[in-house]
Amino acid sequence: MTDFKDMLSSSDYNWMKCSFAQRDVKAVLAEFVEEDIKDLQKQLLHNVQTSKGLPSKTICNRCLLQNLLPCRTGKMCKFKNKSCSFHKDASLQPRRCPTNGLCDFICFGIIDHHRFRGPSWKNTDASKWCTDSWTIAKCYMPPDGYLNAKSAEETDFNGVLSVIINCIYCQRRFSEDLNNPMNVCTKARDKSRDVRYAPNLELSDAVRDSIIDTLVDLLNDSRFFRSNQRSVECREKLIKLKANALRVSTTDITTALEDSVQSANQALEVLKKPNSLDAETEITLSNLNNLADNLQSTCTCVKAEIEKNLIEKLYNSETIFFQACLAESATFNSGEISIRFVLYIFLIGSLIFAFSKNIILWCVIVCFAVALYKYIYFYRPARPIQRSPYIIQHEMELRQIEHTAEAVKALQHKLLKLKRNGKQRK
Ligand SMILES: [Zn+2]
Ligand SMILES: [Zn+2]
């Protein structure tokens, strides 16, 4: 397996190290956030069922957001010729939930559990609130870019962290008061912006260290994370990463690159169909273009590194094969003999005979040695080279990075199209 530890010791890859750190911390946080949101969903359902005297398995999937939110809900209702484009049809008018107000109760519950009482309705599907708890989590994420995040796994670091910050139910995991605007989670979120918005993928060593330290602090919170096994392991990994003592695999690299492509795609989703390329959009687009170009060149470097490693391994496996042939050949079946050993024997033999001045014997011995060497080297039994596990592994690694490079290319293509359309509209 190719190890990129040495390649990543260069400051050029600081952003990637931070991306690894965020990915690992996100995996730890996501597990607990998922659990917390499931509990919140259960609690909301239980409360409404008991308060309204409904049977314990009562759920509702008949209400859409439009039915639950009153008209003139900020960021949702948009008016065109005095009619709301959100509540446009007769079936999309606000009304009470037909299941004895169950969905209305959940809707209030979601608002009540929002630290700033402003859920992101744009991402969620109210008809799934009773059956898919992650649709509730999405109310606590930033409004843009999370429409397609169907599970904790598909949600990025910023999304998961936003749920912790915005949903007061998650406070139960932290000893630090998350009401405090400068808490361990908001610090981690703000620092994560440095990684996401580094279009040239440049982060100084000081910024890199401060990002990793903030994440370590987060996992050191005393109520739950300090002693939780997964969190302890992750913290140790971060410390090793910072000290450049962590093995880095192709999968680590491709995941970091793909995460970056994903955040760029999210940023694009927000920009979708700009009416005209205003100055701000143009800057964002040019930053994203830079980012995509940098990701592409990183893919090329990674591919070159894998290929270099493959060639080294191929050379080694050829040597192993050659030695195996020698060991198997009928003439030298000691199993231990090597070509160098054969050559040394004949060299010593030829020296002895050279000193004894018997030139004919000397010639015969040298010719014999050369012939034997040639026989072993060129006429070794034809046998297909066994594809050693390293070769198979390297081929897989190459396919992985090629797949990632494709994703970057698709992003570049999208950017180009957007730019062209914007210019046409201008
Ligand atoms: Zn409306
Ligand atoms: Zn309902």
What residues contact 66, with CB distance under 8 A and at least 6 apart?
86, 87, 92, 93, 94
**What distance in angstroms lies between residue 144's CA and the mean position of ligand 1's atoms?**
19
The pLDDT of residue 382 is: 46
**What distance in angstroms lies between residue 150's CA and the mean position of ligand 2's atoms?**
21
Res 246 pLDDT > 80? yes
The pLDDT of residue 337 is: 47
**What distance in angstroms lies between residue 101's CA and the mean position of ligand 2's atoms?**
7
The pLDDT of residue 391 is: 76
Query: By CB neighbour count within 10 A (0-12 exposed, 13-18 middle, 19+ buried), where does 313 fall?
Result: middle
The residue with greater pLDDT, 312 or 49, is 49
109-162 pLDDT, tens digit each: 999 999 999 999 998 999 999 999 999 999 999 988 888 889 999 899 999 999
**What distance in angstroms lies between residue 114's CA and the mean position of ligand 2's atoms?**
21
Nearest of 376, 289, 386 to residue 332 by alpha carbon: 376
Helix (H) or strand (E) holding 20: helix 14-51
* pTM listed for this prediction: 0.78
Long-range contacts of 281-290 (CB under 8 A, 24+ apart): 281/422, 282/422, 285/415, 285/418, 285/419, 285/422, 287/197, 287/199, 288/199, 288/264, 288/411, 288/415, 289/412, 289/415, 289/419, 290/199, 290/200
**What distance in angstroms lies between residue 10's CA and the mean position of ligand 2's atoms?**
55
**What distance in angstroms lies between residue 165's CA and the mean position of ligand 1's atoms?**
28
Q: What is the mean pLDDT of residues 250-257?
A: 92
Helix (H) or strand (E) holding 80: strand 79-80
Query: By CB neighbour count within 10 A (0-12 exposed, 13-18 middle, 19+ buried), where does 273 fall?
Result: exposed
**What distance in angstroms lies between residue 98's CA and the mean position of ligand 2's atoms?**
6
**Ligand number, closest to the Cα atom of 131:** 2
Range scoring the smallest mean pLDDT among 8-22, 97-111, 398-412: 8-22
The residue with greater pLDDT, 201 or 197, is 201
312-348 pLDDT, tens digit each: 777 766 555 555 555 544 444 333 345 666 677 777 7
CB neighbours of residue 340 within 10 Å: 8
Res 383 pLDDT > 70? no
Res 178 pLDDT > 60? yes
Report the mean per-residue pLDDT for the chain. 86
The pLDDT of residue 335 is: 36
Q: What is the DSSP letter of 334?
A: S
Helix (H) or strand (E) holding 293: helix 279-328
Measured at the CA of 45, the angle between CA 41 and CA 51, to 5 degrees, comes to: 145
Nearest of 282, 293, 295 to residue 419 by alpha carbon: 282
Q: What is the mean pLDDT of residues 354-377?
A: 72
The pLDDT of residue 349 is: 75
The residue with greater pLDDT, 141 or 350, is 141
Res 275 pLDDT > 90? no
Distance (Å, whole) CA 41 – CA 351: 89
**Ligand number, closest to the Cα atom of 96:** 2
**What distance in angstroms lies between residue 264's CA and the mean position of ligand 1's atoms?**
31
**What distance in angstroms lies between residue 64's CA and the mean position of ligand 1's atoms?**
13
**What distance in angstroms lies between residue 254's CA and the mean position of ligand 1's atoms?**
43
The pLDDT of residue 324 is: 55
Distance (Å, whole) CA 12 – CA 14: 6
